[in-house]
Chains A and B, each alone.
Chain A
């Protein structure tokens, strides 16, 4: 409790400082607000604010752990029943969460601890505690963040904008509002009147396009490889073009070993890889030519093409959190608010600054000059960079004098308590 009181005091000081500078979301009056309390993690929602000043006052007086505003606009955002709010539309939201991304670092820095016997391990928690005398199914899970996973999340945002939203959907990157969530990923908001009117089912079409889900190679022309793969070449639009450009990029790898390695990521067997390598010049010629071209290779039939394309699609698609985009009543972290599980700020980032944005420094608002004493309460705390300093790893029971910037992070992550 003491730790929470301490964090709350610092959060409150931050919100006091924001009195005239807390960013406003568009259509503030039409958005629902929600807050999660530090005590018991209770969600308080269905709140509306008449002005930014009143909202800031609320934050100073209540100091929530997490703060959200709705992606939707409502006539009556504070109505307690969803049906009575009179839905007006919803921003198009994409969420890229490092948690959902396929990264190897998770195995190193995420860990679990058995709630019964305190056995712990790294990676995903098992279904049953491996301790033969315990076999409990309850675990405390701690997910961590590192340069690798947040860099991957950032790359996904770039991919989303530069390979899908701008070239295919015609959405200018300047109309994409990017936010660092304050913890594990990035959000992208698009505020467009026509997009706001899309239903949940209609938003799924956009998500399917971006992820490549439900793609039909038959519809796209993969029917008769002996006469050509429909319109699969680099001059096509949409997915056929993406698939072909990716294939060309892979086949252009000159070193044969490296090429083999690359192709092995696409679920091809040795013979199929051999065929592709043997015929690579022929395939590249087909990709760059506009004529109807024969794609049938000995030992590489239509099923093989389908399998290869399917795996290429998985590689090309963007890893967005699907339920977030299709949910038209979603609550999203409020820009400028503090994330209660990290103490980092939710930061709006202009596209031109995204490349240089440092998620371990730019959203850190607590001082590196003030110190606090804390004790580590979990078996192991992986190392982490905050600003320019790398901290950890720490072990259970270690008592440390740390600057506020890393100290608050550890307290918010619930891996330490005030000493």
Chain B
């Protein structure tokens, strides 16, 4: 298929339906090259002043849908044409200014689900459209005129390079996205329409998650405040922005992440069942009186101390070590505790060779692959051993709660 056949040049309605396509920047480059102030000013002038389109309401409605975790953007209509693209660009600016991860997540979820719905509407049309959409996003895809059978019941005209396939689906938790469960040949994964659309949905979500940051803003937070100051000089934008902020406030969105509670040592409570594989192995080594290297000892002390284990208990744990000396150990442990060091991160533990996520006995899937967060609708990776412990405990509490709820239900049914 040659590039001059690009369907996106002849079918602008696809751009209105999929405003996240990169071809929009080329097609509307005159507007795209405006700076944020010029763009916002131009947008209000064109749509509000000249055409009386209520941009405020449109944007507000998107935020409302996102906050309410809806599956589609209620106010989204491909017939709105170019406006869909400009609204998408506006969202980019607003999310950057809000700098609120929770809101960005929700907008990303909403837009990606909306993308899925719109992509599914293409399903009865030619697969060729999906080829051009993928190519537009820079994905390495191949198109076959004659469909290829990939399962007993499914055929496809498309394959995606395995690197793009892996990257697009890495945060999804279902077994369908795993490379090992797909038809891989000569570097390409033959993929059904449904599965490709699911990956594109994830792609859109990830693209929106990037809105919150620019490379510069990480180093220079002033960039954000300066931009807000400049843009709120435009009265119409100021009103829109304030409305959104009020909306977020009024909905009292829980801005906390999934797991925030830190577990603490309590006499009689066995916390070790929640420990990460690295700590479990170190404890098992200590129990077997195997020597620990310096970094392992320090890490174990920092970890137990973070969970507020009493010093005597920590010393007791080390007592089985072959070279244990009460005085020296007490001094070293007290010194480490006094310094208040926190345990190493998973990245550091990997470098030190202490990470045991793949250990035959203690290895843990959550450590290796992360876990699915329902709130954030994505896979969260474990980056710290304390985080792992907290996740394990939360899951265990949730299991207990679930059992209780189930128990109550059963009781209710029985009473009936």
Contact = CB atoms under 8 A, between A and B. Distances in A.
Interface string A92-121: 000000000000000000000000000000
Interface stretch (A20-28, A236-244, A272-280): A236-244
B178 A208 contact: yes
A169 B187 contact: yes
Interface in A347-369: none
A239 B348 CA distance: 35
A167 B162 CA distance: 13
Interface residues of A, number: 43
B241 interface: no
Contacts of B184: 168-169, 209, 237-238
A169 B348 contact: no
Interface string A272-305: 0000000000000000001010000000000000
Contacts of A169: 162, 184, 187
A219 B176 contact: yes
A231 interface: yes
B351 A237 contact: no
The interface centre, meaning the residue of A227, A322, A323 with most chain B CB atoms within 10 A of its CB, is A323
A264 interface: no
Contacts of A238: 180, 182-185
A221 B151 contact: yes
Interface string A171-209: 100000000000000000000001100110110111011
Nearest to B182: A238
Interface string B13-30: 000000000000000000
A128 to B, nearest CB: 10
A370 interface: no
Given A169-B162, A323-B358, A329-B350, A237 B183 contact: yes
Contacts of B270: none
A377 to B, nearest CB: 23
B358 A212 contact: no
A70 to B, nearest CB: 11
Contacts of B369: 201, 204
B183 A236 contact: yes
Interface string B174-206: 011011111111111010000000000000000
Q: Return the 8 tightest CB-CB contacts between A and B, nearest first.
A: A170-B187, A237-B183, A237-B185, A219-B181, A216-B175, A170-B186, A231-B151, A238-B183
26 contacts: A82-B347, A82-B348, A82-B351, A168-B186, A169-B162, A169-B184, A170-B186, A195-B163, A204-B368, A206-B162, A206-B179, A214-B180, A215-B181, A218-B175, A219-B175, A219-B176, A221-B151, A221-B152, A228-B152, A231-B151, A235-B149, A237-B190, A238-B184, A290-B149, A292-B152, A323-B358
Interface of A: 82, 137, 167-171, 194-195, 198-199, 201-202, 204-206, 208-209, 212-216, 218-221, 227-228, 230-231, 235-240, 290, 292, 322-323, 327, 329
